[in-house]
Structure 1
Amino acid sequence: MSLDLAALKLKPVPPSAEVLARKAGYRELVPIAFNAALADEPCVEVRSIGVAGDNHYNTPRNPPYYVSVPGSVAELYLRKSVAAKLVEVNARLKALGLELYLFDAWRPQAIQRYFHDVWFPEWLVQRQPHLAGQALVNEVEKYWAAPTAGASSPSPHATGGALDLTLIFSDTRQPLYMGGIFDDLTEEAWTDGFERKDCVSMSDDEARANRRLLYWVMTEAGFANNPTEWWHYSWGDQM
């Protein structure tokens, strides 16, 4: 089925409040089907099947960090069925001269623990010194999921079913403008961020349109979006 670029760029993404309400408690409430047919499927390196990307945590050209994060990996691994769905999305995007570009896929727990327990809490407290205790945890977990807590409660990126991505032009390899960098962990990053504000510039209009395009092309393929991160999508995990 072909994509109607203009229509998708005009179609608003759902309000974040509605999606967050459905997401609440997902790791405790959604059981994992350990005996399902795909439970033991292998992971593949997405670039081996033609999906572009570079592991953002492994390269030192990775704002806002500018360092290869200890414990990161260069590979972009996803479960075979998830990677295959990305190939299908790319096939639909091809006629538009666009394709997907991944920042992250399967993620080691060392990375999850570092950003959940150390880096992001420190960043938040520098800017909001009053944050402490559960209030700090709640703010952290708007963006960084708690590390895996046993087989029945994995962090999303530990499943091989979660990924962070954007859209690029196939010929120039330049990314479409999304209104902010990957891992800008503020409300600017919420998928509906440009739906909830008055777009007063061409840059605002462009970011809103491109987030809509990414949202609809991914969700029409069956992926779920994390509403606090325009770049995060998953398939077949608890989210």
Structure 2
Amino acid sequence: MRRIRTAPHAPLAAAAVLLALAAAPAPAQAASEQGQGQGQGHEPKAPREFVALHDVAPTIRQDIRYFTAHNFVGEPIDGYRQPMCIVTKDTAKALARAQRSLLARGYTLKVYDCYRPQRAVDHFVRWAKDLDDQKMKTEFYPRVDKNRLFEDGYIAEKSGHSRGSTVDITVAELPARPTRPYHPGEPLVPCYAPREERFPDNSVDTGTGFDCFDTLSHTDDPRITGKQRANRQLLKTTLEREGFSNLPEEWWHFTHKPETFPDTYFDFPVSRHSLTSHR
């Protein structure tokens, strides 16, 4: 959903080391970093306040959906040149604190999206205006008419993600096995189907998949009960303690407050080469 609101314990240390090794960038990501500088000399750069989350909190899992075709558009999104999470330093530090809390309880955070360039938001807008393109409807918006995506607030021309303090995030129970890749053209299942039927995800069951355009995604929807509600509350309370605010319409959407850039929407690509001190 693209809604916007104006708005030194020894065992723990050992676990963190093991998870850090497991969470190191995949070979595909490392390979994608090679040659990124070619033809990008005039691309905008991120201010020094932006960092790669992996450099601050390497044990947090990353499943950057808009780098892939497994999203409501059905193709990689403009501006996502590497499958990585970029956020402001304050946001990264807050996520690291939340991660330490969850690791001690046998869980890990997992991000689906972090900073999002304006060109990606523009891609969403173009897609939403093309009413004939509905190839991902069965999974992501089965009960919503595409011609209502703007009116219902699922798509907007600006996103808080472009300011760098907002993340789409969930929790996974350890040990968390990798999620299998999505294969374009494979049969789709509604995002609110029972967990064992919808696309597999190594995260805890929260009642819907990520980016599910449905009222069941509202954090406190009364139809979400039992363990699913408890999992949403685990995510929400853990992040709220570190200064994050949840968007009520999306259980996965959190913004760290106060925002480092409350009024600025950036358009640098999601890439190591966008960072001022990339390495």
TM-score for both structures, normalised by structure 1: 0.67
Equivalent residues of 1:77, 1:105 under 8 A apart: yes
The one of 73, 78, 81 aligned to 1:73: 81
1:15 corresponds to: none
C-alpha deviations, 1:171-204, integer Å up to 9, x for none?
Answer: 13431111111111110111112xx23x6xxxx4
Q: Distance in 1 between matches of 2:143 and 2:95?
A: 38
After the TM superposition, which parts of structure 1 deviate over 4 Å for at least 4 consecutive aligned residues? 63-66, 123-127
Q: CA separation of 1:125/1:96 partners in 2, compared to 1, >3 Å: closer, same or farther?
A: closer
Looking at structure 1, the residues matched to 227 and 142 of structure 2 have their Cα atoms a distance apart, in angstroms, of 32
Task: Name 1:156's counterpart in structure 2.
Answer: 160
State the partner residue of 1:178: 206
Q: Match for residue 10 of structure 1?
A: none
Unaligned runs of 5+ in 2: 8-46, 135-140, 178-201, 264-279
Give the root-mean-square deviation of aligned CA atoms. Answer: 2.9
2:53 aligned with 1:46, yes or no?
yes
Q: Identify the residue that residue 215 of structure 1 maps to in structure 2.
A: 236
Is residue 138 of structure 1 aligned with residue 146 of structure 2?
Answer: no
Offset of residue 41 of structure 1: 4.7
Report sequence identity in percent: 24
1:128 maps to which of 145, 151, 166? 145
Contact 2:161/2:167, CA 8 A, preserved across alignment:
yes
| Structure 2: distance between partners of 1:171 and 1:156 | 32
- After superposition, the C-alpha distances for 1:125-153 in whole angstroms (9 at most, x for unaligned) are 99538x56xxx6331x2x33432xxxxxx
Q: Distance in 2 between matches of 1:185 and 1:217?
A: 24
For 2:143 and 2:101, the matched residues in 1 are separated by 44
Give 1:205 deviation, angstroms: 1.8
Query: Paired residue for 1:100, among 75, 91, 109?
Result: 109
User: Could you tell me how far apart the structure 1 residues matched to 2:155 and 2:73 are?
Assistant: 15
* Residues 125/44 of structure 1: CA separation in 2 closer, same or farther (3 Å cut): same
Work out which of the residue numbers 250, 254, 274 in structure 2 matches 1:233: 254
Secondary structure of the structure 2 residue equivalent to 1:57 = helix
CA distance in 2, matches of 1:116, 1:211: 29
Pairs aligned (count):
184
| Bigger proportion of residues as helix | 1
